[in-house]
Amino acid sequence: MARKIVVTSGKGGVGKTTVAVNLSAQLARRGQRVILCDADFGLNNVDVAAGVEHLITYDIVDVIEGRCRAKQALVRHPTYGNLYLLTSSHSAPERYVSPQAVKVVLDALAPQFDFIFIDCPAGIDDGFHRAVATADEAIVVTTPHISALRDADKVITVLKSYQLNDLTAVVNMARGDLLLSRDSLSPTEISELLKIPLLGVLPEDYGIYQGEITQPHSAFRILANNLLTGKRKLYDVTRKYSGVFGNIRRVLKRNL
C-alpha cells in the first residue's frame, strides 16, 4: 500500500514542485513505484517540471467524471519507468473537485504503488485542504527567509489538526556562505522554530532548478534516502564554502 505524502508550503516560490518532482524521480530510480499527483488545480505545472507535458491525454477530472480509468490517466515518465504522473484539471480548470473525489481516485491506485506524492497549492485555501485530506503524511517546503518560515509555521499549525502519521520539513535554497557567517538561520534552528523534524536540506544551487531530473543533485539523493529509510542525514550546504577556495567563493558571492 502506497504512502500518500502531500508536499506543501506556506508561500509560493519556495521550490515545492521542484522538490516533489525530484524526490519522486529519485525514489523511482531506487525501484519504488511512484505516482506524482498534481493537486494544484490553479497553477498546475507538475507535468512541465517533469518534462512530460507533451504526453498528457487525460487528467484527474477525466477519471472522476468517468471519461477514463485511473490507470489510463497515468503518464509514465520516459526516463524513470517507475514514475507515473497524474495531472490536474487541464480539461476543466474552473470545475470544482471535492477532496472526497480525489481521495477515491488515489485510494484506488494506492495498492499498486509504494509512494503517492500530492503536489499541493501554496497557502491554506480550499485547494490546500483538498490535497491534504487525501494524504497520510506531509512534507512542508520552506526557505530560510523569515516570510517563508512564518507562512510555513501557519501551514504546520493547520496540518497538525489532520493528525497525520508523519510531518517533516525540507529547507530549500539554503546558502552555505550565509550559514558560515551566521547571517542565516541554521537547519537546526529552523527545525526548532517550526517544531517539526527536518527531512532534508537543499542548497541554493542554480543547477537544481532547471527542470532536469535525469541528472539529479546529490542533495535529492540524500533526501530520498531519508524518506525511504527513516534516516535524517542532512546535505552539507557549507562544504563548498570551507577551506581556502571556499573562502574565496564566499567573498565573491558576497560581492555579487
Q: Nine-digit cell at 153? A: 509555521
pLDDT score for 244? 43
pLDDT score for 135? 97
For residue 78, the 8-state DSSP code is S
pLDDT score for 245? 45
In single-letter form, the type of residue at position 246 comes to G
pLDDT score for 87? 94
pLDDT score for 88? 87
Sorted by where each starts, the structural domains of the chain and their CATH numbers stand as 3-254 (3.40.50.300)
Q: Which residues of the chain have pLDDT under 50?
A: 211, 244-245, 250
Helix or strand or coil: residue 115?
strand
124-152: buried (b, 16+ CB within 10 Å) or exposed (e) per residue? beebbebbbebbbbbbbbbbbeeebbebb
Q: Nine-digit cell at 75? A: 503518464
56-84: buried (b, 16+ CB within 10 Å) or exposed (e) per residue? eebbbbbbbeeeeebeebbbebeebebbb
Radius of gyration (Cα) for the chain, nearest Å? Answer: 18
Strand partners, 170: 141, 200
pLDDT score for 43? 80
Q: How do residues 72-126 score in pLDDT, each as one tens digit? A: 999 999 999 999 999 987 666 556 889 999 999 999 999 999 999 999 999 899 9
| pTM as predicted | 0.91
CA nearest to 171, candidates 14, 49, 5: 14
